[in-house]
Structure 1
Amino acid sequence: MKKMFLILGMATGLFACSGNSSKQAESTAETTTPAATEEKAPAYDPERGSGKFTNVTVSPTLDKALADAGNKVYDVKCASCHKLSDEKLVGPGWKGVTTRHKPEWILNFVTNTDEMIDKDAKAQAMLELCMVRMPNQNLTDEEAHSVYEFMRKNDGVK
């Protein structure tokens, strides 16, 4: 009797597993087939990165109110991983960041973090150096602009 239950159990297991694998193969084929109506993605621009910021105009003088708002965002969302010096904490230090990257690149990176890390060579190099993927902080456009202005203040813009 035990033998019969064992054989019945094995047969049921084999039947159940074989049925799912064909459905899984069908399902995978459906999801990997591209739709005929998909548009080709625009070419990636390493100077501005990937995201909605394409042409950012920056004032030669600092917007103090915006920089102060950016300081508050930094304190809450950025300070645990980034120092204001050039010293690495978890992520790279912020000193000089506005001279190393264009405003569009920085704004796209802080608002479109995952795609930038996946596509951008500079972001990938930072990931290799820091060995921790920056989490998406879900910054609004306004928060991103204020953080950028705070970065400029940190870099000595008056």
Structure 2
Amino acid sequence: MYTLKTMALSVLTLALFSCGGDKKTDSIPTATTTETTATTTEAPAASGTNEYDPKRGLGPHENVDVSKFDPAMAAAGKKIAEVKCTSCHKPTEEKLVGPGWKGVTQRQTPEWIMNFISNPDPMIDVDPELQKQLELCLVRMPNQGLADNEARELLEYMREIDGAK
């Protein structure tokens, strides 16, 4: 019985820490790790970037060029997802802890996705659709401390899931 309790406690501890990621407190870097024609253009924080836009969300990502698919970036995004995301999300429509990723790039703009995965808390606080999702999932998405390039790579992986080539 003692071994069973110890194993259960170990699994619970692992589950809690696997969603935490390594939180970064610095400003978000703007350099990308892979050379690509699909880039993120970011404007400095100005008036207007703090106002919620349901098409863009809240955050620095204003114009994300997704005109060309980058398989190397998608592969890097898949690796990030395997470490930081797949304990809660599946690449299908199936809900795990959070919603499945299939179709997300058709429902949301690239800017909205990048702003949300980069810093989910402010968007969850104001977006009525995210608040409904929170009621279904019962778990608030943790901030994984993603750098801009990591968020962009995850977006490219999500695009690959949805059939981008």
TM-score by length of 2: 0.69
Q: Partners in 1 of 2:107 and 2:48 — Cα distance? A: 30
Compute the displacement of 1:125 (Å).
Answer: 1.6
Large movers: runs of 4+ above 6 Å = none
SS, match of residue 61 in structure 2 = coil
Q: 1:43: Cα distance to partner?
A: 2.9
Deviation for aligned residue 1:58: 1.0
Aligned to 1:91: 98
Any unmatched runs of 5+ in structure 1? 1-38
Counterpart in 2 of 1:110?
117
Q: 2:134 aligns with which of 113, 127, 145?
A: 127
Question: Does the 8 A contact of 2:51 with 2:58 survive in 1?
Answer: no
For 1:40 and 1:84, locate their aligned partners in 2 and report how far apart those are by CA, in whole Å.
33
Query: Which residue in 2 is equivalent to 1:147?
Result: 154
Rounded to whole Å, the distance in 2 between the matches of 1:40 and 1:136 is 23
Deviations 1:86-114 (A, max 9, x none): 00000000000000000010000001111
TM-score if structure 1 supplies the norm length?
A: 0.72
| CA RMSD after TM alignment | 1.6
Classify the secondary structure of the residue corresponding to 1:71: helix
> 1:49 — aligned with what?
57
Taking only the aligned residue pairs, the percentage that are identical comes to 58
Structure 2: gaps spanning 5 or more residues: 1-46
The residue identity in structure 2 corresponding to 1:84 is P
Structure 1 CA distance, aligned partners of 2:117 and 2:48?
A: 25
Supply the distance in 1 between the matched residues of 2:157 and 2:79 (Cα, whole angstroms): 9
- How many correspondences in the alignment? 119
- Of 94, 101, 105, 2:108 maps to 101
CA gap of 1:41–1:58, structure 2 versus 1, over 3 A, is closer
d(CA) in 2 for partners of 1:41, 1:111: 15
Matched, 1:72 2:66: no
Find the residue that maps to 1:49 and give its secondary structure.
Answer: coil
Give the match for residue 34 of structure 1: none
User: Aligned with 1:54: secondary structure?
Assistant: strand
Contact 2:49–2:58 (CA under 8 A) maintained in structure 1: no
